[in-house]
Chains A and B, each alone.
Chain A
Amino acid sequence: MPPSADAPDLAVRTQGLSKAFGGRAVVRDLDLAVPRGAVYGFLGPNGSGKTTTIRMLLGLVGADAGSIEVLGAPIPEGARTVLPRVGALVEGPGFHPYFTGRANLERLDRLDASADPAGSAARIGAALDRVGLASAAGKKFRQYSLGMKQRLAIAAALLVPRDLLVLDEPTNGLDPQGTREIRALVASLGAEGVTVLISSHLLSEIEQVCSHLGIMNTGRLVAQGRVEELRAAQTTTTIVTTARPDAAGAVLRRLGLSEVTVSGEGASGIPTGQRPADIVAALVADGVPVDGFGTRRPSLEDLFVELTGEGFDVDG
């Protein structure tokens, strides 16, 4: 699909996507835009509608309103042609407990009408290798640890070369080492040019590997864009540490900084175009003894918390 003016080349695009279960709105008017080649971090607290959105992208759940395009094809109409190029991990691993890891992958491979039967063993072997499960392939799934189960689900998503990977909470239940391995895997897939949509309720787990972020809260997308853009949109605060806080505050006000506050240790304000060097010069010229000077930019974590609220409350 050639990129057009209003829709740059997007791997996933939804417009006005909405879904309610039993009268309760779970996803509301969602406009998702995942550019091709992006590693898109899909963030939101538990219960914010991420999984339902992902289920709609995969044609598992029907939308009440709005449209979905995945790799240029409408969903659910085009699901059968486009889903072979989409690998997915949805809401945790799901495998037959009394089958071995390998037999579970064989089952999925045999059901794939577009897969070449001759290459089955090679495909499965390569996928198991990639997630480090080759030596445990003959074990029954029920004997797997949580981390191994998660890896097997990722192996299933990587059975055939994909253009898009949808990974719903892939780090759930993993120890720090496992989380790091998943991140490395996602980064390497991103480097290969695979578009990755990775959801999490923990920003810190995926922040490093993402080029784009979308933040959901109570069914709505509250922020979306390139990570640098989201970071740049954050307001920076200038902080002066001094023995004469009042004098410093007066200087900052005179220079035109907004929201100037004065505390026991100094003063702070939000610059409205003033360069740090000029602020320091003005302070010194007014005889304010500057013990420390800095700018603070809130982290993405702060933004995330600000947009989604804090605490353990599950919205809905």
Chain B
Amino acid sequence: MASFLRALRSELRLIAGRRRNQVGLLVLMSLPVLIAIATKESTRHGGDNRGGPDFFDQITSNGLFVALAALGVEIGLFLPMALALISGDAIAGEAQTGTLRYVLTVPVGRVRLLAVKYAALLLAGLLACAAVAFTGGVVGAALFGTGSATTLSGSQIGVGATVWRILLATLYVAAGMAAVAAIGLFLSTLTEQPIAVVVMVMVVIAGSWILDAIPQVAWLHPWLVVDRWPAFADLMRDPPRWGTIRAGLGVDAAYAVVFLLAAWARFTSKDITS
């Protein structure tokens, strides 16, 4: 266990030490700042507050909602893209730089390597979601102040309860990213081109969003990984709608399990010729 944690720390250092990832995190964190400033500007100039996407209209009354608005925007593209990038680095990237053969001859068992890689992706995904929510909460609170929040059901909850629910929403979004990480890790075992992994993951995610928007394939929607991602909004109802949250977590978990098994089957039998 101690040696697993030692390897995991090394893995996180590998991800965090890469300039591209640091810039990527800054980009993720800049979006809630943009949302907060744009909202502030539009209210100052009396721009019409047209109901907009979820949470945007609540921001002015409670800055903490910037966190949820930002998560809602970034879940569509930016967060899955971030996970696609680092999962591409995980195996395909190591194969491309030629480090994979040296890691395996250290030796690191292949199952253990997958476990370390996936654990690092989970933590990185959680960090990305938390960074978005935290930045949104802090900037929003600074620009709009906090106070009791109005839930989607119309009732009022206190600041403590709001923060708690934002925390749960962040974890829920991170669970979705765990599914993306599993898809990415599997694709990463198929190729030596990390960019190919990014493209394939984004095809899966964008394709799912498109299918999710086509009513003719409504029967397929419950099985799409993205379908219930926006359901984190249901945590802001009173009481929270736990049913959709549970179903969403179930789909995320199913995708994670299936793709991790596929990654395991592929990677443990693969000839490493990179």
Contact = CB atoms under 8 A, between A and B. Distances in A.
A binds B: yes
Interface stretch (A41-49, A77-85, A205-213, A269-277): A77-85
A61 to B, nearest CB: 4
B102 A90 contact: yes
B45 interface: no
B216 interface: no
A: contact size bracket: 20 to 34
B107 A59 contact: yes
Interface in B1-41: 2-4, 6-7, 9-10, 13-14, 17-19
Interface SS, B side: helix
Interface string B101-131: 1111111110010000000000000000000
A94 B107 contact: no
Given A83-B107, A94-B97, A108-B103, A99 B17 contact: yes
A107 B14 CA distance: 8
25 contacts: A55-B271, A58-B101, A60-B272, A61-B272, A62-B271, A79-B107, A83-B105, A90-B101, A90-B102, A91-B101, A92-B98, A94-B100, A95-B97, A95-B99, A95-B102, A96-B97, A98-B17, A99-B17, A106-B10, A110-B7, A110-B9, A110-B10, A111-B7, A112-B106, A156-B102
A80 B272 contact: no
A208 B136 CA distance: 67
Contact of A80 (B7, B17, B109): B109
Interface of B: 2-4, 6-7, 9-10, 13-14, 17-19, 97-109, 112, 269, 271-273
Contacts of A98: 17-19
A86 interface: yes
Interface in A122-165: 153, 156
Contacts of A111: 7, 10, 103, 106, 108
Nearest to B9: A110
Contacts of B104: 58-60
Nearest to B3: A113
A110 B101 contact: no
A297 B269 CA distance: 49
A84 B107 contact: yes
A306 B146 CA distance: 85
B103, B104, B106, B272: residue with the most chain A Cβ atoms closer than 10 Å: B106
Contacts of A84: 106-107
Contact of A110 (B6, B100, B273): B6
A53 to B, nearest CB: 13
A97 interface: yes
B105 A96 contact: no
Contacts of A92: 98
B17 A97 contact: no
A21 B270 CA distance: 12
A203 interface: no
Nearest to A81: B107
Contact of B101 (A80, A94, A103, A106): A94
A90 B108 contact: no
Given A95-B97, A97-B97, A55 B273 contact: yes
A60 B103 contact: no
Contact of B105 (A21, A58, A106, A117): A58
Contacts of B19: 98
A110 B106 CA distance: 10
A60 B101 contact: yes
A55 B6 contact: no
A117 B2 CA distance: 10
Nearest to B108: A111
Contacts of A95: 97-99, 102
Contact of B273 (A61, A97, A153): A61
A61 B273 CA distance: 7
A266 B108 CA distance: 65
A88 interface: yes
A162 to B, nearest CB: 12
A20 to B, nearest CB: 11
B22 to A, nearest CB: 11
A107 B97 contact: no
A289 interface: no
Contacts of A97: 97
A58 B109 CA distance: 12
B125 to A, nearest CB: 21
Given A62-B271, A80-B109, A94 B102 contact: yes
B99 A96 contact: yes
B271 A88 contact: no
Contacts of B14: 96, 99, 107
Contacts of B6: 110, 117
A108 B7 CA distance: 9
